[in-house]
Amino acid sequence: MSPSKQTILVTGGCGYIGSHTVLRLLETGYKVVVVDNLSNSSYESLRRVHKLYGITAASSSTSNFEDASLPVETLIPFHQVDILDREGLAKVFEFHPEISAVIHFAGRKAVGESGRIPLDYYNVNISGTVNLLQVMDEFHVRKIVFSSSATVYGDPPRIPIPEESPIVASMSPYGRTKVFLEHIIKDLCVSSAVKQQEYLKELEVHPKDHKKVYNYEWSAVLLRYFNPAGAHPSGIMGEDPQGIPNNLMPFLAQVAVGNLEKLSVFGNDYPTADGTCIRDYLHVVDLAQGHVAALEKMDKEQAAGTYGCKAYNLGTGTGYSVFDMIKAFNKAVGRELPHVVTARRPGDVPNLTADPRLANRELNWKAEKSLDEMCADLWRWQRNNPYGYNTVHEKN
């Protein structure tokens, strides 16, 4: 099915990665419906998507962007629904029978916070996703791209990390939710193949009892991405965490604009060259394209009669330490930003660096943007939007 014929439901579509993916989907020719409870995001992100899509349309010589003149609420239908609200999710599918696949971002995502409120993480991430999967199945939408994480690898035995590295009972409740959900989605795909075979046998025996023929098989891609960073190169759209950021780069950006005093570096006694944790940072624009590539991969496989579940790493294959990232962002900002070394944070592991070659081959995807571009784009966004999507000068 061509992109122009498909409508994709994006859960968590007002968030950092979700909004960039919504824009990339529109630019590629998909139609999009967004679900978000706005607990850690802003509807303003979709207004920025709408603006950027209009800029893309104005610079294009093709007629592929005729819908760019539509108002934001028509171009990007939005439903403020929590994934824990099963009835609310069902109403979204009832209202949009054209939905053909789901990209699932919605959920809690902070390693440190998950150790303080684990029950919230298990409830939202696991119960909410099971709700979504059940509603999808009820409405015969059985194609999903799942936002997983490199945290499923725990403290991996091998760097860079290949997909066949064991997924483990991760060191944080957040990571464990991703591990459990990967198993749930895999189990669903396996069971759906059995259900489809039983259904086909029933069709052979009692064809007249079935007025419409269905396909009960699921397709799923689990995207284990590493550390998203950066912002849209325009400076119009970026990450806007509510409250104090949990991740390194948005925290540094808040220090740079004076909203926070200094960065805390959690530990400098890890078994790495400079003692700080190493992570594989990839530009959020590259990450958004990875989700489009996953949809295209499933379409090709389904056209060939192939279903099932497969995991891919999305990363650059290059790891940077916390001190490396501070140095790179200092360069983008043009001055030294204050930081202090504190105790280790529970749940952190020394090194998470991807082996992205499987995604390079099978998804025809590769991270293109450099560390310098990530930092420059992040600084452009934060400098132009010191309070994120909040239009007042001071956040309450």
HSE-up (13 A, CA, CB side) for residue 357? 5
Please tell me the distance from the alpha carbon of residue 196 to that of residue 307, in angstroms, as a whole number: 11
Pairing of strands 339-342, 263-266: parallel
For residue 102 the two structure tokens come to: 């789901």
For residue 290 the two structure tokens come to: 């990875």
Least Cα distance to 352 among 373, 321, 327, 324 occurs for 321
Say which residues have a Cβ less than 8 Å from residue 338's Cβ, sequence separation at least 6.
255, 261, 262, 263
Please pick, among 121, 153, 174, 216, the residue that the annotation labels catalytic: 174
Q: Are 253 and 228 in contact (CB under 8 A)?
A: no
Residue 30 falls in the annotated catalytic set: no
Active-site residue numbers?
174
